[in-house]
Amino acid sequence: MLFKQPFIHVVGGTPADRALVAYALQRKTIRSVACLDAQYVINVADPPPSLILLIAPPDPAALARNIRAVGGWRESVPILACARQPIAIPAGCDGALPVDVSPDALELLVDDWMPPDPLAGARRLEAQFGQDKIAALVERLRRELAEAVRLLDDSGAFYHAHTIAGVAGTLGFGAVSEAWRRLSEGEIDATADARRTARIAIAAIDRLEKSKRNIRLWS
């Protein structure tokens, strides 16, 4: 089952930090924001969130690594490290956000990682061509996206960007298609958007049944 309501895990930080984040993310939009202990996220947390925010952990790379090591949806869920000072993106995380910003600014930064329904286009195709056909193609796209994201770190993804853009567009992943088209045309600045849109799509696909081998697009 795909949980359509944006669902965010806020992990760590002081009570004041967590209160600020929860306020910023819930004051205008209906979101489910859970402030959780790291061990709970690693061992228990369910249903799968759309996003995990790590609030100023001592070692965000180690925490992200421990979360991802559990497997399942934790391997692909976008994880953002939040810190009071600008930091490089830690290993295992997908982005880094400042917590000392206005609620409006924090909301906008998080919204980039939480589109309403990344699978909306695929659902429309499913209604036309059938669930099994489209699900198989979406699963294949998921594998190709994962490999392309891995190659982004050594520039190898540029050689696959045009193909990714075409396939994603055909299957209704418009944001993925646009970002990877820009990358294929040599826009270096598109790398961050290519990574972000791909990671969002991969996580959305994995959340469908919490299994990479049993994709179903119906919610």
Per-residue pLDDT for the chain (219 aa), expressed as one digit of tens each?
A: 334 455 888 988 888 877 778 888 877 665 678 888 888 888 887 778 889 999 888 899 999 999 999 988 898 999 999 887 778 889 999 988 887 778 888 888 888 898 878 888 888 888 888 888 888 899 999 999 999 988 886 666 677 899 999 999 999 999 999 999 999 998 878 988 999 999 999 998 888 755 444 444 544
β-bridge partners, 33: 8
Does the predicted TM-score (pTM) go above 0.85?
Answer: no
**CATH 3.40.50.2300 boundaries in the chain:** 7-111
Instruction: State the Cα–Cα distance between residues 106 and 10, nearest whole angstrom.
Output: 13
Name the residue among 67, 17, 59 with its Cα closest to residue 41.
67
Task: Supply the pLDDT for residue 102.
Answer: 80
Task: Supply the pLDDT for residue 158.
Answer: 75
Name the residue among 13, 186, 39, 25 with its Cα closest to residue 113.
25
Beta carbons within 8 Å of 57's beta carbon, 6+ residues apart: 11, 12, 13, 38, 63, 81
AA identity, residue 218: W
Q: Which CATH architecture does the domain made up of 7-111 adopt? A: 3-Layer(aba) Sandwich (3.40)
